[in-house]
Amino acid sequence: MKVAVIGSGYVGLVAGACLAETGNDVVCADIDEDKIARLNAGEIPIYEPGLEPLIERNLEAGRLTFTTEVAAAVKTSHVIFIAVGTPPDEDGSADLQHVLAVARTIGRSMEDEKIVITKSTVPVGTARLVREAIEAETDIPVHVCSNPEFLKEGAAVDDFMKPDRVVIGVESEYAARTLRELYRPFVRTGHAIMIMDVPAAEITKYAANAMLATRISFMNSIARLCEATGADVNAVRKGVGSDSRIGLNFLFPGVGYGGSCFPKDVKALVRTMREFDVDESILQAVEDVNETQKTTLLHRLVERLGEDLTGRTVAVWGLAFKPNTDDMREAPSLVTIEGLLERGARVVAHDPVAMDEARHHLGDRIEYMETNYSALDGADALVIHTEWLPYRSPDFPRMKAAMQTPLILDGRNLYDPGDMAEHGFTYLSIGRRPIEARGGASKDASRVGETSPAGAEV
């Protein structure tokens, strides 16, 4: 099948490469000349496990091409995916200008009947706007569909190749048959292709992300209650998650969600609900809890070391919003680091893959280290934001020897509090009792008296 994917960002690249892998003739089009030149040279602009060899293999086989000629890609393809960005507008609603610009280009360029699919995350009613934009430019029949993506960054290739489900919103049986054929290779193990009306498909994407975000904010609220009462959030999580109606997924307490999906999708759904006069208070609370949770580690560090951090060195492990990606959009690490810099701290950071991306956000205001251990030299505290595998079983004696003060603030609950007590760390995690370093653990005894009482709440 001849397929065009308009937009070569995260979603477009994964969709284009995976569709080419199953034998389709795929052209990915983007107006960013530099990005297309890099892709044609085999240089992948994002970090996503498994994507680079997939693109290289299909480029070599001739099933995948990259171009800046959007009109030409439209003319030569029967199925066209719109996969451009939909960033949040100032009021939180999704900005559809790029989606509708592509729709107008499709209308001006198409010479025969097309199936046009919104792959970008868009609010309910967008397919209608896309249809209107196309039909304003042409009288040729067009089938406009919604096919939301449910990709997890860090596992996107596997998610596309082996999906839990494929959701397709259609207006015609012809489009339904065509898209069933396109997706058949990905559901051979029995996972469902769900055909529904277009508005239902558009809402499904936002509803799914909002539900996952709700679980995260809910568990973070419970973690605060655990801290206030002395309960262990891990025990609570297991007790709740063992209920078959609930399950354990997305019930991990932490420093809040980030990335390109949950923050903007929750905001957009809140905005949509307001437009339709539907009570949005649950989702507004989800967002409010998350924004507060992102400040947790910063506030706890300030409680321990004081408001003025001039002369203090803080090590940061993990910059990406989650492991297995270099994405730092809405990353909790940015909230912590900006707060540290405002208070005069020296910030020394490490991330296995997100260092270049961090430079785009933070420039040379922080220091970047090649290894996680080198970031600890002389540190007054270590703050952990991302649960990368190399951070999970570190050399604790080496860490303690390198640090000025053995203070760890763990935003992902990577370590066992009992182990941290044995190693002599002051260890603050999420929803668990704080562990205080044993006497004499600090290299600078003058600083010990500056810490706040154990268990002080923020």
Q: Which residues are catalytic?
A: 261
Spatial distance between the Cα atoms of 434 and 429, rounded to a whole number of angstroms: 7
Residue 220 three-state SS: helix
Residue 27 three-state SS: strand
Judge whether 128 and 103 are in contact, CB under 8 Å.
no
The pair of structure tokens assigned to 141 is 């029949």
Judge whether 178 and 115 are in contact, CB under 8 Å.
yes
Q: How, if at all, do strands 367-368 and 25-29 pair?
A: unpaired
User: Residue 97: which residues within 8 A CB-CB, separation 6 or more?
Assistant: none
What single-letter DSSP state applies at residue 310? T
Spatial distance between the Cα atoms of 112 and 128, rounded to a whole number of angstroms: 20
Longest CA–CA span in the chain (Å) reads 80
Judge whether 55 and 17 are in contact, CB under 8 Å.
yes
The pair of structure tokens assigned to 37 is 């030149």
Q: What is the distance of C-alpha 153 from the center of its chain?
A: 6
Spatial distance between the Cα atoms of 433 and 24, rounded to a whole number of angstroms: 55
Q: Which of 371, 370, 368 is nearest to 346 (CA)?
A: 368
Return the H-helix or E-strand segment holding 289.
helix 281-293
The pair of structure tokens assigned to 341 is 């810099």
Spatial distance between the Cα atoms of 175 and 146, rounded to a whole number of angstroms: 11
Q: To which residue do tokens 């997706």 refer?
A: 183
Q: Which of 91, 108, 75, 88 is nearest to 4 (CA)?
A: 75
Spatial distance between the Cα atoms of 158 and 322, rounded to a whole number of angstroms: 17
Spatial distance between the Cα atoms of 139 and 414, rounded to a whole number of angstroms: 59
76: how many CB neighbours lie within 10 A of its CB?
14
What single-letter DSSP state applies at residue 233? H
389: how many CB neighbours lie within 10 A of its CB?
9
User: What are phi and psi for residue 418, nearest 5 degrees?
Assistant: -65, -40
